[in-house]
Chain A
């Protein structure tokens, strides 16, 4: 087993917990699909003339994947607040496992779920006519990126939960993504943004995520955007989980 047994079993618990709430999981699947259908219905026919995007169906797949991931992993804070408020988290704290494993199980569980949702939605996108320029290997990279991004985004929700202990505050994890998405070339290329917005778009990490994942979908193995996207994902994951673990240590000290 490549990870510690404690981390493995806590990851299993996170995944099982999610599957035992099918209503939430179905919502995590249907909402991005609905948005995908609406965006395609609204822009697909005019995308080439308006934005110069030939394959809008494929162009939108990374957006759908990331939306699903943020839905899945953004609820991590809510789940943690539930554990904190029920007292179950104390029960876990009282076991002789490391602090990082306490949160790691939820982070990894969200990562696994994110990858599963990404695989499912990628298949739906392909069925809808999307093409994957990098083939099966590209699909594996895309799904892995979605999974690791899920870990990173989970850490954001966990930090909010640990700092506030509030379900209402933890819900920020679900909506934090929305302004970042609209400030990135998610629906149209960067060139169509107003001049004053382009600076923000250029520093928005989601811009690099979409560029890398979009390259895998549409352009092929263009290393620079793919590596930049990987760097953003890994950086976010390390940062958010480190801050979450620090927050836990602070709370328990």
Chain B
């Protein structure tokens, strides 16, 4: 794993927040060492080491099947690790599971709700089980935040997917946890609901210092929210750092070329052999060329394209995105 930054009090470089990570006591909200999960012959998670400072939004990025949800289930005490250790809120998840559950809120990928209860009843029961004081006030506030006041007394079975997702989030927050695990929280949400959820996560993080562990396949999500990101591939963390650091790691600039047709292997090899070119990636007829200096490289790229017989239309130089980082590290195409 490549770790680009890490210390609980390192003044983490931020994504889109402009710097809001809070370090209440200098400790880690989440720590894992050698965290491993095997299902028979399948190695779902392979020796993950992780340290998430308190008050941070931590993005856990990977495609389907990379081990994100399994990691969350182990950290949230829902699944025992095969090997390794994890501490959440300073407590060992194996030996102090019940105490850990008091500190955490979890919204899993599969929205787990009881269709026969009303939204209000579900929140009320969750609050009771968490022994929340002043339950009515808390529920009214949460219903307002997730914009479900009007449907709170309807049975959950009648809710839309977005409403269910928002109620699930509210139920994870009902006891005001200090650490929140959100497993692909915006999957299936419309853009407005997604924006609304992002704003709420930002607000809780900035105003209340809540730590978020956010798994997602949406790169723009971690780019917008996360202070730090770990990229998971085949059960292993392949890189960790702030979004800015991750982008900087793959080269200063990316030259994007719109070809008239998909390039052949020979053309790609010619470009890869150019001086200053770090990597060439293709997606259909689009070619992304990682270079140290885009302006300096562009003329030699044009000559190489002509030489290889690759006709092209538009060409532009851009700063690297997390998509570029992700593709370079995993070879997988993220969701858009």
Contacts and interface: CB of A to CB of B under 8 A. Distances in A.
Nearest to A86: B112
A89 B108 CA distance: 12
B108 A87 contact: yes
5 nearest A-B residue pairs (beta carbon): A87-B112, A95-B129, A87-B110, A88-B112, A96-B101
B216 interface: no
B76 interface: yes
Contacts of A252: 78-80
Interface residues of A, number: 25
19 contacts: A20-B155, A21-B116, A83-B114, A86-B114, A87-B111, A87-B112, A90-B106, A90-B108, A91-B126, A94-B77, A94-B78, A94-B104, A94-B106, A95-B129, A96-B98, A96-B130, A97-B129, A252-B78, A252-B79
A224 interface: no
Interface stretch (A5-13, A108-116, A117-125): A5-13
A21 B155 CA distance: 13
Contacts of B125: 9-10, 13
Given A9-B125, A13-B117, A17-B116, A94 B101 contact: yes
Given A94-B78, A96-B99, A253-B80, A88 B128 contact: no
B113 A88 contact: yes
Nearest to A95: B129
Contacts of A197: none
B112 A9 contact: no
B114 A9 contact: no
A231 to B, nearest CB: 34
B186 to A, nearest CB: 17
Contacts of A253: 80
Interface of B: 76-80, 98-99, 101-102, 104, 106, 108, 110-117, 121, 125-126, 128-131, 155, 171
Interface in A17-38: 17, 20-21
Considering residues B80, B98, B116, B117, which has the most beta carbons from chain A within 10 angstroms of its beta carbon? B116
A108 to B, nearest CB: 15
Nearest to B104: A94
Contact of A6 (B78, B128, B171): B128
A29 B335 CA distance: 51
Interface in A75-95: 83, 86-95
B78 A93 contact: yes
B126 A89 contact: no
B80 A5 contact: no
Contacts of A93: 78
A3 to B, nearest CB: 13
Contact of A20 (B80, B110, B116): B116
Nearest to A12: B125
Interface in A50-106: 83, 86-98
Contacts of A91: 106, 112-113, 126, 171
A9 B129 CA distance: 8
